[in-house]
């Protein structure tokens, strides 16, 4: 049995057969045509192009229906590239005049374009290189007549193991067939992570090279909680994981009954459980899980498709859909939280050495008012249709907060002049995720309506760890005492000033940590929708006194390891049926 460690990006446990999805290994017939009939070969390729074009057209439609027009646009763009005239001329030239086989011509020409795109140095073009690879694969498959399996077409359920996955591939994953994902590269913010979470497929990325270790039909376990991948697990391990899964499934069955019950401790203290969402169509899933609202609507997906920046209308449609679906329950929208490196074609910043410390998030928005304006206009317009609240990420200085609020007010005025009805009572808040924000919170608190602690980034910044860096990822621990002290301080100041406070990082997905936060005084948690039933169960099984005692003790421990061990222990005592044997 081989045990590997990667980055857990989508929770759950998958047990099954490994299917290695490795384009690099695809055998290309690198030959000249056997016959001198270039014409025949060219006709063969044209037929393959037609088939690929029809498939792309169908995929564009299907993906738009399932995941929205932005992701559907990935396939429309691929189609336009596939039908490029020059591409056909180059291919025909190689086949007719230089006797290349169709396969070799496809491979040669498309690799040339992919390389040119990667060299150009913009993230937009680098993604187009991924599209070119999708097209190449599709054509080679059509030519060989033996379908390689796309993630849509696998015959039996399997766990996919791959070097990485292109946007086109992740967009067509069928969760009934794809049981889990594990990739050699990748991080928590990539396409694979985001789509895996949206589809609730367990996923572990950033494992490093491991595909060469897999043999055909090896069995594999992907642990999306701990970021572990086990190849050919021994019977004992297998049993343990199977038992855990069965256990979780039976809990899940019980939990659906909890949907309409409130998340109250057994002695009546109410905790609001909200949901973190990425996509506009997740609103319904939130309600199905019994969420009290959307505590964090990440708006970055709008920038993930292959097309240009989204328009105000694109933003508005995405926001108003959730506002309506949530029918009066609060929805907290976060303004753009991306780095300059992810922002399409325009180089907003030169190659940054430290993107996390660079021109990202609110800094990017304030530096590009035109961009910011589009998003704010759409949010303000959507705010008339529900209980919308707006939150600024990564606020570091009072200047930033004041400028952002000022811009928001003046944009609201402009909208009113244009005839829109804009509420003047929209709660405006900030994320507390930069250490400076905690240190200066007593000042910030005077100028916001609410705060939300972003534990993901707060943990990174305060422990100086890049959680996507495989070399140090184990230092990233949300239960590190340093992080806990900052959370406590934030809570104290917010409570003193009677300002609403929530925690919206991944930390609260774990029942033990959630109870710790409740014990520290937090009454609003925003978590992955799939975590809501589990947390509700945990909260309903304890008294506030037990949570507070737990928090008191945890805050006096020295290291993350001690806190973690202590919390697991506590959870075992308080909610025994929930404990997962590691």
CB of 359 to another protein, least distance (A): 16
DSSP state for residue 360 in the 8-state scheme:
B
* Residues binding another protein (CB under 8 A): 77, 80-81, 84-87, 113, 116-117, 120-122, 124-125, 128, 306-309, 311, 344-347, 370-371, 373-374
With contact defined as beta carbons under 8 Å apart, do 542 and 265 qualify? yes
Angle at the Cα of 19 (from 14 to 23), degrees rounded to 5?
Answer: 130
CB of 121 to another protein, least distance (A): 7
Longest dimension (CA), the chain: 84
CB of 344 to another protein, least distance (A): 6
- Partnered with residue 272 across adjacent β-strands are 524
CB of 76 to another protein, least distance (A): 8
Measuring CA to CA, how many Å separate 523 from each of 252, 274, 395, 409, 514? 24, 11, 23, 30, 10
Nearest to 444 by CA among 403, 397, 496, 406: 397
Is 330 in a helix, a strand, or coil? coil
Helix or strand holding residue 104 (H, E): helix 102-119
> Among residues 113 and 476, whose Cβ is nearest to another protein?
113
Residues 231, 2: Cα–Cα separation, whole Å = 5
* Active-site residue, 264 included: no
Nearest to 500 by CA among 457, 448, 447: 448
Which of 479, 504, 510, 547 is catalytic? The answer is 504
Exposure string of 91-119, with b = 16+ CB inside 10 Å and e = fewer, is bbebbeeebbbbbbbbbebbeebbeebee
Mark residue 19 as left, alpha or beta (left: phi above 0; alpha: psi -120 to 50; beta: remaining).
Answer: beta
> Among residues 222 and 374, whose Cβ is nearest to another protein?
374
- CA pseudo-torsion sign 89, 94, 99, 103: negative
> Among residues 348 and 566, whose Cβ is nearest to another protein?
348
Nearest to 123 by CA among 337, 306, 301, 345: 345
Which of 191, 315, 510, 547 is catalytic? The answer is 191
* Active-site residue, 479 included: no
What residues are labeled active site? 191, 504
């Amino acid at each position: 049995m081989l045990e590997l460690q990667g980055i857990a990006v989508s929770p759950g446990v998958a047990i099954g057969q490994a299917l290695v999805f490795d384009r690099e290994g695809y055998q290309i017939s690198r030959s000249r045509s056997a016959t001198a009939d270039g014409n025949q070969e060219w006709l063969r390729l044209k037929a393959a192009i037609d088939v690929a074009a029809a498939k792309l057209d169908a995929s564009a439609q299907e993906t738009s229906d399932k995941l929205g027009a932005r992701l559907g646009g990935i396939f429309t763009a691929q189609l336009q590239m596939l039908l490029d005239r020059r591409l056909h001329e180059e291919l025909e030239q190689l086949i007719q005049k230089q006797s290349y086989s169709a396969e070799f011509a496809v491979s040669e020409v498309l690799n040339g374009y992919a390389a040119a795109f990667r060299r150009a140095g913009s993230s937009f073009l680098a993604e187009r290189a991924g599209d070119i690879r999708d097209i190449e694969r599709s054509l080679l498959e059509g030519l060989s007549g033996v379908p390689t399996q796309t993630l849509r077409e696998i015959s039996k359920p399997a766990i996919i193991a791959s070097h990485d996955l292109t946007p086109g591939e992740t967009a067509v994953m069928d969760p009934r067939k794809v049981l889990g994902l594990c990739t050699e590269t990748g991080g928590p913010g990539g396409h694979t992570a985001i789509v895996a979470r949206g589809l609730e497929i367990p996923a572990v990325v950033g494992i490093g090279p491991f595909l060469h270790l897999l043999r055909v039909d090896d069995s594999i376990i992907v642990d999306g909680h701990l970021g572990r991948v086990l190849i050919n697990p021994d019977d004992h391990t297998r049993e343990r994981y199977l038992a855990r899964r069965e256990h979780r499934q039976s809990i899940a069955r019980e939990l659906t009954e909890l949907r309409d019950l409130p998340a109250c401790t057994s002695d009546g203290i109410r905790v609001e459980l909200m949901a973190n969402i990425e996509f506009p169509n997740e609103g319904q899933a939130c309600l199905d899980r019994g969420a009290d609202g959307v505590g964090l609507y990440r708006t970055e997906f709008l920038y993930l498709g292959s097309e240009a920046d989204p328009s105000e209308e694109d933003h508005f449609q995405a926001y108003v859909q959730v506002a309506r679906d949530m029918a009066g329950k609060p929805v907290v929208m976060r303004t753009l939280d991306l780095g300059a490196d992810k922002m399409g074609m325009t180089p907003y910043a030169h190659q940054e050495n430290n993107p996390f410390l660079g021109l990202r998030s609110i800094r990017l928005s304030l530096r590009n008012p035109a961009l910011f304006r589009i998003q704010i206009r759409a949010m303000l317009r959507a705010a008339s249709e529900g209980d919308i609240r707006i939150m600024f990420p990564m606020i570091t200085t009072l200047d930033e907060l004041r400028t952002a609020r000022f811009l928001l007010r003046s944009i609201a005025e402009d909208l009113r002049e244009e005839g829109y009805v804009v509420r003047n009572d929209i709660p405006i808040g900030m994320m507390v995720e930069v250490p400076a924000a905690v240190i200066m919170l007593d000042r910030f608190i005077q100028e916001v309506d609410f705060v939300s602690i972003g534990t993901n980034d707060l943990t990174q910044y305060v422990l100086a760890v890049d959680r996507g860096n495989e070399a140090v990822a184990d230092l990233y621990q949300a239960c590190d005492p340093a992080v806990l002290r900052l959370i406590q301080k934030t809570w104290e100041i917010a409570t003193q000033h009677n300002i609403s406070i929530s925690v919206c990082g991944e930390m609260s997905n774990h029942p033990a940590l959630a109870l710790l936060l409740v014990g520290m005084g937090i009454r609003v948690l925003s978590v992955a929708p799939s975590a809501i039933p589990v947390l509700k169960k945990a909260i309903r099984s304890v008294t506030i006194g037990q949570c507070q005692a737990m928090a008191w003790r945890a805050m006096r421990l020295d290291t993350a390891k001690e806190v973690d061990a202590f919390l697991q222990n506590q959870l075992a005592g308080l909610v025994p049926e929930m404990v997962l044997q590691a």
